[in-house]
Structure 1
C-alpha cells in the first residue's frame, strides 16, 4: 500500500524523548565536547535525551552503514521517541538510504527528523517515501545558538501546527570553532545580507516545501529515494523547492541542479528558494549563474539568499509544510502551516 503523501509528527513538548544518533559523521575531541554541551542544553529545557551507539567521530562515518541504518530505524520507529536529531551532517549518508527498514517505518507513527547538510539525504526520502514531514534546520551542534530577530528556533516549528512566520534576519554570521569555544551560544556577525528576487519585482506564492543541500540531494534524483515529482503528483498541490550549496564550485552546482530539473523536481514548483552560500565561483560561472543556467529556463520566481544553508544563521523549513513566500519591497516573509 502506498503511504499517504503527507503526515505530520505530533507536536514536540518538554518532557518528550529526543534521540541522538549520527547517520553520517560522528563526533570526537572538541566536537564531542560541543555535542555533550548541546545534549545538556536540551535536557535543561526539559527534554529526555537518549544518545545512541553510533557517535564515533574518528572515521568518515560514525559506524558501518548497516549499524547506522539499524539505529536510525529503531529510533524513528520507537513510539517513545518524538524526535531524532544528529550531531551534524557529514559526507556519505547516502550509503544507508537503502538499508533503512522502510516497511517498519511505514507502519510507525511519524517522528520528527531534524537536520541539514548531509542529513538532507535522509530528510528527502523520509518525506517523499513515507509522507512524513521532516525539519530542515539546525543540527544538534547548532541547536544552542540564540535565534536572531526574524527567525524561529526549530524546536518552535516542531511544537505545533503554526502558522509560523519568519522574516529576513539581515544577519550574515560565521561559525565558531569548537576548539576555541565549545559552549558558544551567539552567532558572530560578519556582515549583513537580504533576500532578493531574480529580476526584481515582487513574489507572493504558496506551496508545499521540499529541498535541501544541493550536493547531497542531487544524487537521489532519479532513484526511489528522491522521487519528488511522484510525491508532488500524489499531493496534487504546488510545491516550493529550496536548495542551498555547501562548498562545491559553480560548475558542479550547475550540473547537480540540471540533474534535479531533469528528474522533475520542479515540475509542480511555484517558486525556487536559494540559500545564501560561500561556495566558490568558477572563473567563468558564478553560483547565481549556475542556478540560472539550470533553472532560469523554467520561468519560475527565484528568491535568493535565504538563511537556509551553510552560512549561518538558520531559518528552519519543514518539508511538507504549506508555505507562503512574500517578497515585496521591505516585506520579506515566509509563513509555514503544518497541516
Structure 2
C-alpha cells in the first residue's frame, strides 16, 4: 500500500541539505528562492546544513541525517525541499529512522533521488522527483516546472495529468539570468525506440542512475519486496536519468540493475534527456536503448522531461501512471492509488 502526503495552501517548507549545502558565495540563491516562495503564500524554514559546504558534503553524515529526521518529525513543517543535489547522500541512509515515517512530501532530484527511492521502497511513502529549491527562485516558472504544486496537491484516489514541455534548456547561461531561471530554447521531442506510438502503464519508480545503482543488493534497494508487499505485484514503470556517466558506464549500471532483478515484471523504461551520454567507441545512447528494449521485451522511451536538462515533470514514486508518446509529444497521467 502506498501513502500519499498532501500539499496544502500556506504550507511550511523545510529546506535541509542531506547531500550538498550551499557555499557562501551562492547563499543569495537560497534567499531569492525563499522570498519567491513566501510571496506565493508559503513559509520557508532553512536548516543549518543549507548554509555550509566542505569536502563534497554539507556536514558529517550523522548531522545531515539528524537535521532531516527532525524536519520530517516536526509537525510545523509540511514538506521538505533540499536546496539541490550533490554527491554523498548515500552516507546518511544508515543513520535515518525509517520507522513510522510521517506522511510528508520530499521533493528533489539528482543525488536526492536516492533518498526518495529508499524512502518509498522501505516505507511505502510516496516521494516526488522534480525541481529543487534553487530553481524556484525565478519571477515565474515555466508551465512544466510549475506543475509541482498541482501534482503534490492531488488527493489520494485522484489523478493528475502532465504533458511534455514545448521547449527545453540546452545549456545554462549563468551570466545572463532571466526571470524564469531556465532558458528554454530547444524544441522538445520525446523519442521511442520503435519510432511509433507507445503506451505504458505501471507503478513509477526511478531516479538518477549514477546514485540509485549503489543501493542494489542492500536493504535500501529491495525492489522485489516493495513490488510484492506494497503494490500487490503490479508492474513497475521505471524513469531513469544520467548525470555524469559515459555510455559504457551507464550500460554496466543498467545491466547490474537487470541482473539484480530490478527490471523483473517491468512494464517499460523512460529515460530523461542527458548531456552526459557520451559515446564510447561508437556505442551511443540510442544503441543502449535499443538493446534494452530487445533484452527486456518492454517499450523504451527517451529524452523525456526528467533530470539534469530542464524543465522537469514531477514524477511520484509509488503512483500508478499511464504514459502515452506519439509524434514526439508525451502525456503522463498519475493516479494516486493506495
User: Does TM, normalized by the shorter one, top 0.5?
Assistant: yes
Counterpart in the other structure of 1:18: 13
Counterpart in the other structure of 2:272: 275
Task: Calculate the aligned-residue CA RMSD, in Å.
Answer: 2.0
Q: Post-superposition shift, 1:220? A: 1.1
Deviations along 1:251-272, whole A, 9 cap, x unmatched? 1111111111112111121111
Which structure 2 residues correspond to residues 188-267 of structure 1 after superposition, within 5 A?
A: 188-234=183-229, 235=231, 236-267=233-264
CA 1:153 to 1:175, structure 2 compared with 1: closer, same or farther past 3 Å? farther
Write the distance in 1 (CA, Å) between the matches of 2:18 and 2:294: 34
Counterpart in the other structure of 1:91: 87
Counterpart in the other structure of 1:126: 119
Matched, 1:159 2:153: yes
Q: Post-superposition shift, 1:127? A: 0.3
**1:97 aligned counterpart, secondary structure:** helix
Mark the runs of 5 or more structure 1 residues left unpaired by the alignment. none
Write the distance in 1 (CA, Å) between the matches of 2:327 and 2:174: 39
Write the distance in 1 (CA, Å) between the matches of 2:293 and 2:217: 18
Which structure 2 residues correspond to residues 144-183 of structure 1 after superposition, within 5 A?
A: 144-145=137-138, 146-149=140-143, 152-161=146-155, 162-174=158-170, 176=172, 181=177
Write the distance in 2 (CA, Å) between the matches of 1:120 and 1:79: 24
Deviations along 1:288-334, whole A, 9 cap, x unmatched? 32344456400110011101011111111011111100123465211
Matched, 1:48 2:43: yes
Matched, 1:37 2:32: yes
Which structure 2 residues correspond to residues 284-295 of structure 1 after superposition, within 5 A?
A: 284-294=282-292
Matched, 1:143 2:136: yes
Q: Post-superposition shift, 1:54? A: 0.9
Counterpart in the other structure of 1:309: 307
Write the distance in 1 (CA, Å) between the matches of 2:297 and 2:313: 26
TM-score (norm 1): 0.91
Matched, 1:110 2:103: yes
CA 1:150 to 1:78, structure 2 compared with 1: closer, same or farther past 3 Å? closer
Deviations along 1:111-168, whole A, 9 cap, x unmatched? 1011000001100010000111000000111124544456652122111234221112
Q: Is the 8 A contact 1:195 1:305 kept in 2?
A: yes
Deviations along 1:232-289, whole A, 9 cap, x unmatched? 1221212110101112111111111111111211112111111111112223311232
CA 1:329 to 1:290, structure 2 compared with 1: closer, same or farther past 3 Å? closer
Q: Is the 8 A contact 1:261 1:295 kept in 2?
A: no
CA 1:96 to 1:222, structure 2 compared with 1: closer, same or farther past 3 Å? same
**2:168 aligned counterpart, secondary structure:** strand
Q: Is the 8 A contact 1:18 1:48 kept in 2?
A: yes
Q: Post-superposition shift, 1:200? A: 2.1
TM-score (norm 2): 0.91
